[in-house]
Amino acid sequence: MSARVILITGANGGIGLAVARAFLAENSRHSLWLGVRQHRAEAEALAREHPDCCRCIALDVTSPKAWAEAVTEILRAGARLEVLVNNAGAHQDMLLGTMPREAWDQTMSTNLDSVFHGCQAVLPSMINQRWGRIINIASLSALLAPAGQTNYAAAKAGVVALTQSLAKEVARIGITVNALCPGYIDTESLAHWSAEERKAAQARIPMRRFGKPAEIAAAVRFLACEEAAYITGSILKIDGGVY
Amino acid sequence: MENNVALKGEIKRMMVENLMLQVTIEEIGDQQPLFGPGGLGLDSVDALQIVVALDKNYGFKIPNPETARQVLQSVATIAEALTNAPA
């Protein structure tokens, strides 16, 4: 893949970092922007390792103003922004019957509104270029809709629908929009699980193991490449066969 | 007046290039509707591309759908909006 300007949100997390590393391994002339908020130590460490092509940028994905500022800064630096990976997300799992309104609103804002704001912020430059790749990290929860995740599952299902709808809107402008639905991926979100919980979860996965962040990153990298130009509106589940 | 003629030509060229229209600049009338019957046959995606191109090429921002409806009626209304826009 030729050198591109790439913005990855939630870049301090396991999947975000893996995506960044995958792009860095692919082409050292990529220009990577790592969108981070409070937690940024690991992203900053990666940026220090690759000072010529990788830098952190403050980005509260729930804020349209923050998006506008971040995209302006990126375009000022290189005049192009070609790939957006909407990876930032968070969940607050609980039963709907006792879910505080804040847990609903925050989950919607972080997981769904953020994708809307991000796509809207990058579209003008992608339209001008007549080339763009938007890759949204949804979740298997969007398809499985597990109990205890009404907020998260609804938000991620929204991301899936947004992806499919936006893909149709911008297809003829050379912009593709796709979503990934990762299943159980061995990141910080599973770190607090006990050995028993991990074992029980793995028993429900046909491959009997959790996915690796690099396995998500590989799919992101593929969807961003030239050869994936005809793939748009696709929802790719990466779940070891669960769904 | 000459400037306005030149501006309309620029707008037509921008539309043909950005929207990859299968018509020549000469075939687009100043007053020809961009959308609907008897028009150029543009759609909402084309409109989005025009909005982005006007911002890029002229720094002219269309802030809401209502303004877009008023401005994006024809080449003439776009030229008028650009001419009347504050410097």
Minimum CA–CA partner of B44 in chain A = A169
Summarised one tens digit per residue, pLDDT across range B50-83 is 999 999 999 999 999 999 999 999 999 999 999 9
For the domain that residue B20 is a member of, what is the CATH number? 1.10.1200.10
Chain position carrying tokens 């302006």? A72
Q: Which domain holds residue B9?
A: 2-84
Residue A243 domain-assigned? no
Using a pLDDT cut of 70, give the percent of chain A over it: 100
* Distance to chain A for B52, nearest Cα, Å: 6
* Distance to chain B for A30, nearest Cα, Å: 25
Summarised one tens digit per residue, pLDDT across range A85-99 is 999 999 999 999 999
A170: chain B residues, CB-CB within 8 Å:
45
Alpha carbons B87 and B61: distance in angstroms, whole number: 12
Residue A178 domain-assigned? yes
Lowest mean pLDDT among A52-56, A148-152, A217-221, B37-41: B37-41
Alpha carbons A142 and A19: distance in angstroms, whole number: 21
Segments of chain B assigned E as strands: none
Question: B49 and A124 in contact by Cβ < 8 A?
Answer: no
Q: Which amino acid is at A156?
A: K
Beta partners for residue A182, in sequence order: A238
A127, A169, A172 ranked by CB distance to B52: nearest? A127
For the domain that residue A12 is a member of, what is the CATH number? 3.40.50.720
Q: Which of A152, A184, A230, A243 is catalytic?
A: A152
* Overall domain count for chain A: 1
Alpha carbons A209 and A217: distance in angstroms, whole number: 17
Kindly provide the b/e burial profile for residues B30-46, where b requires at least 16 CB atoms within 10 angstroms of the residue's own CB: beebbbeeeebebeebb
Q: Which amino acid is at B27?
A: E
One DSSP character per residue, B9-64 reads HHHHHHHHHHTT-SS-GGGS-TT--SSSTTS----HHHHHHHHHHHHHHH-----S
* Overall domain count for chain B: 1
* Distance to chain A for B28, nearest Cα, Å: 22
Res. A9: pLDDT tops 60: yes
Res. A215: pLDDT tops 70: yes
Please say if A230 is a catalytic residue: no
Q: Note the pLDDT of residue B2.
A: 58
Average pLDDT over residues A19-40: 93
Residue A137 domain-assigned? yes
Q: Which domain holds residue A145?
A: 5-238
Summarised one tens digit per residue, pLDDT across range A169-181 is 999 999 999 999 9
Between A219 and A191, where is the model more confident?
Answer: A219
Minimum CA–CA partner of B61 in chain A = A124
